[in-house]
Amino acid sequence: MFYKNKYLFVLINLTILLSFLLSSCASDTDDSSAPNSTTDNSTTTDNSTTTENIAPTVSSISPTDNSTDVSVSTNVAVTFSKTMSTSTITTNTDNTTCSGSFQLSSDNFTTCIQMSAAPSASNSDKTFTTSPANNLSRGTNYKLQFTTSAKDTSDNSLADNYTTTNGFTTYGTGTIKGTVRYDNNSATDNVSVSFAKSGTTVANTTTNDNGTFSQDNLSLGSYNITFTKSAFNDVSISATLLTDNQTITENVTLLADSCSSGNITGKITDAVSGNNVDNVSIIVRSGLNVTSGSTTGTATTSASNGTYTLTGMSTGGYTVQVSKSGYITAFFNANVCGNISNQDVAISEELSSGMMRIVLSWPSGSTARDLDSHLQIPDNDSSTKHMYYSYKKYYYATNAKTCSSCSSSQLSDNVTLDRDTTSAPGTETITISKVRSGTYSYSVHDYTNRSNASSTKLTQSGAYVNIYYNNTTQTINLPNSAGNLWRVFTFTITGSFLATDTMSSQSIPGNIY
């Protein structure tokens, strides 16, 4: 009996223990979903990398950036990377203010082109196209801009305003003309002239019996012009038409096949002070007006007295580049037929924004001896002043040629005739410390031949004018016409340079303006 009770007692205890263990396991299982559980079996959804949250971008535009010869009636279009909300792709159809997310401008978005209608959508609402209300101006650069008000269908805006870097330029035309002479300065005739653009010949002409040539209706852009005639070396010159209706003059010299190689020598001077400039780096490129690309390998540096020598030059036309820190890089053309000397050049120091410098140069052996610079400027009294050798300095503070009690800033606010040369090779320099509103007009007068209205000494002189303004350099060459007064250019601060390119006569220097 005792044993039976003992076994029963053990069985009861085992049953109790087993029940306790089963209860503990059940409790642990239930705690797995409790807030304080150390086991995380939950699932989290993260939409941060889905396409719905990615900002749209501009995939392409039309006309493309850097395109030229674009029709003035062109459509403009944009394609985005995502489907866009059509209500956010808007443009200005009422006036020329820059509003809407789709903008077109020719003045860096000071104003914008009025469009004919709201942009139309295509390509599953990724591409939008519109057109200007009126034809665009010929020969003009335009930029496209798309603003952050443009949104996709998930309400994501463009990350930043998108503006084309260089824009597109509409079709325009211009004229390239000039005179071809032999190295004795006499006029050529029957010289073949070809105009190539991007390596393709686009026009051909022939010089007249006075050596002149002219080719109009050339589209804007850069040209390589080649001159050929039997028994003479071919000549090539680069020229660029930048604006609609522009006319540029390029004069060249033909060299006979019998010409030999030689050296080029000359001197580098400061355009303002006339002082010699040393340590100027000088390199050479084949062809005329070639300001970039590979060089011939011939190079030198100017000496302490400004002189230089380029040795062993083969017969032909070259562009000589001169550069020095603190000065504006300058270029001049040289024709080698044996040794040529007195190839002098005046270089200008770098200019502050708003300054202008005009440098007239004429070479050694020129048919002209004494050339004079004349500049008409807007003065400080709603009138004009005539700057030349009799009126070499003008001060805006006093509206006169003197400024006795002026401050240093007033003294530096002036227009000056810096150099006045009376013989070839010659340089005359005028500096405008700050260009004002109004019209500037610049002319060159052949003082030596001022009494001879039919003189050709000026047109045959080889003179040229370099204009330095706001990090640009423009060169203007002589037209082929008789006269002693060359009207070179006019300029307005709100417009641009206009090469007047005319010859006339004036016997009295004070009456030029």
The end-to-end CA distance of the chain, in Å, is 149
Give 265's pLDDT tier (boundaries 50, 70, 90): very high
Average pLDDT over residues 462-475: 95
Classified as helix, coil or strand, 3 is helix
Structure tokens at 214: 């002219």
Least confident piece of the model among 17-26, 53-62, 258-267, 361-370: 17-26
Global pTM?
Answer: 0.77
CA–CA dist 325, 349 (Å, integer)? 9
Of 193, 201, 195, 258, the closest CA to residue 229 belongs to 193
Sign of CA dihedral 259, 262, 268, 274: negative
Strand order in the sheet with 58-62: 58-62, 76-80, 127-130, 120-122
Label residue 139 left, alpha or beta by phi (over 0 means left) and psi (-120 to 50 means alpha): left
> How many secondary structure helices (H) and strands (E) does the chain include?
2, 34
The DSSP secondary structure of 222-285, one letter per residue, reads: EEEEEEE-TTB--EEEEEEE-STT-EEE--EEE-BTT---EEEEEEEEETTT--B--S-EEEEE
Classified as helix, coil or strand, 52 is helix
Of 70, 170, 85, the closest CA to residue 121 belongs to 85
Q: What percent of the chain has pLDDT over 90?
A: 85
Residue 23 burial (C-beta neighbours within 10 Å; 0-12, 13-18, 19+): exposed
CA–CA dist 319, 286 (Å, integer)? 6
Average pLDDT over residues 108-113: 98
Classified as helix, coil or strand, 30 is helix
141-165 pLDDT, tens digit per residue, is 999 999 999 999 999 999 999 999 9
The DSSP secondary structure of 174-238, one letter per residue, reads: EEEEEEEEETTS-B--S-EEEEEETTEEEEEEE--TTSEEEEEEEESEEEEEEEE-TTB--EEEE
Helical H runs in 53-162?
A: none
Query: According to the model, what pLDDT value does residue 23 have?
Result: 57
349-401 pLDDT, tens digit per residue, is 999 999 999 999 999 878 899 999 999 999 988 899 999 999 999 999 999 99
CA–CA dist 234, 319 (Å, integer)? 15
Query: According to the model, what pLDDT value does residue 40 have?
Result: 44
Half-sphere exposure of 454 (CA within 13 A, CB side): 0
Half-sphere exposure of 478 (CA within 13 A, CB side): 29
CA–CA dist 339, 343 (Å, integer)? 11
Give 496's pLDDT tier (boundaries 50, 70, 90): confident
Q: What is the mean pLDDT of the chain?
A: 92
Give 13's pLDDT tier (boundaries 50, 70, 90): low
